[in-house]
Every structure is written in structure tokens, then in C-alpha cells.
Amino acid sequence: MEPLWPYATPGIPDRLFEQLPGIPMSQREVRLVLLSALRLSPQAVLWDIGAGTGTVTVEAALLCPRGAIVAVERDGDVATLIKNNCQRFGITNVDVVVGNAPDCFDRLPHVPNSILVEGGRDLKPLLAHAWEKLAARGRLVATASSFQSLYVISESFADLQVRNIEVVQTGGSRLETRGSHQVLKPIVPTFILSGEKF
């Protein structure tokens, strides 16, 4: 049977993922920027904290066939959704962990050389604990959808002395068909902050 996504490039269309109402999903255009910010090698170890639908987890697992991806989600139903999406794409190098971050960090497998934080209730201690677990020369990437979270992440990056910081805001539009018309649907703007640990 032909794989659902037989390409070496990222950018899986959103419609190919199983979804649940109300569960966040990184749109394809945002995902592409996130994957670029993570700078994954074929054998990378990535912790995806607050993995949601699992779109980044799936794309990263396909890009890192000799690596290990750990998807952390606090809700059991959402964790099942991530597992279902991994099965849809024939992925076997993902560990899905049900737990609250950062409380579950001590029981996560593998030492990460990349950590993605996609939201969280108390970002400052979450980022500090993630930084402690990150391997030397590793990359920390965090997303912000509000100015409040942007401020907290920026302040945390300064406190942690994150090096080579990059900040990108995604945006733009995507052509969609609605009835007999084609319209441009805006992509939700997201701030992506990334940097390195030395």
C-alpha cells in the first residue's frame, strides 16, 4: 500500500490528519516554519510539548527516520489522536506520553537535542525545566499566539541566556474553495521563537 505522504519534503496538507473538535492543530504553513526553526538531523531527538493533533510530531518523525520523537499531551483522548495520526502515516519512531509538563519531564525517554513548546499554562517554569533537560548545543523553540505569551517567552529566553535567538511571525493566506467561489482564507498569525543552548 502506498504511504499517505510519500514525499521527502514536509508540508502535509491539514486535511490528511485526523482531527478532533476544539483540539489545536498547527497549520501547514506554520508547521513548515516550526520544522525549519527546529533544525532536525536524521537522528534527532525531539520533545514536542503540548503536541495537540500531532502534526509536528508526524512531520518530524518522517524527517528523522533514525531519530526519536516524544509527544507530550496532558489529555488521554488527545494522546490517542496523536497515536492515530502516527498510525495513519506508518510512523514507528514516536513515543506518546500522557502527562502534565514539566512534571512528567523526569520520566520522558531520550535526551532531547530539540524541544518544541506549543503553549502551556505557566510558560516560564515550563521553559526553564525544558532548558534544563535540553542537551548542550540543542535548540529550544516556542510558539506564541498572544502578546502576553510572546512577552513571557522573550523574557524567559533572556533569563535562560538563549543564544542566536530568532523570532518569526507567520501569516499570509491560503486559497480555499467555498461553494462555487475561491477565497483567500487568512492563516492565523503565530510568533515562533527559537534559540540555542551552549
Residues 102, 170, 136, 71, Cα dihedral to 10°: 40
Three-state DSSP string of 152-192: HHHHHHHHHCCEEEEEEECCCEEEEEECCEEEEEECCCCEE
pLDDT at position 136, please? 97
pLDDT for 5-36, tens place per residue?
A: 999 999 999 999 999 999 989 999 999 999 99
Using CA atoms, how far residue 134 sits from 2, 155, 198, in Å, is 36, 18, 10
Give 26-196's CATH code, choosing from 3.40.50.300, 3.60.15.10, 3.40.390.10, 3.40.50.150. Answer: 3.40.50.150
Mean pLDDT by 10 residues, the chain (198 residues): 92 97 93 97 97 97 97 97 98 97 96 93 95 98 95 98 97 92 93 97
**Cα 158 to Cα 174: distance, rounded to the nearest angstrom:** 34
Residue with grid cell 515562533, as numbered in its chain: 192
**Cα 90 to Cα 85: distance, rounded to the nearest angstrom:** 9
pLDDT at position 78, please? 97
pLDDT at position 192, please? 98
Q: How far is CA 59 from the centre of its chain?
A: 9
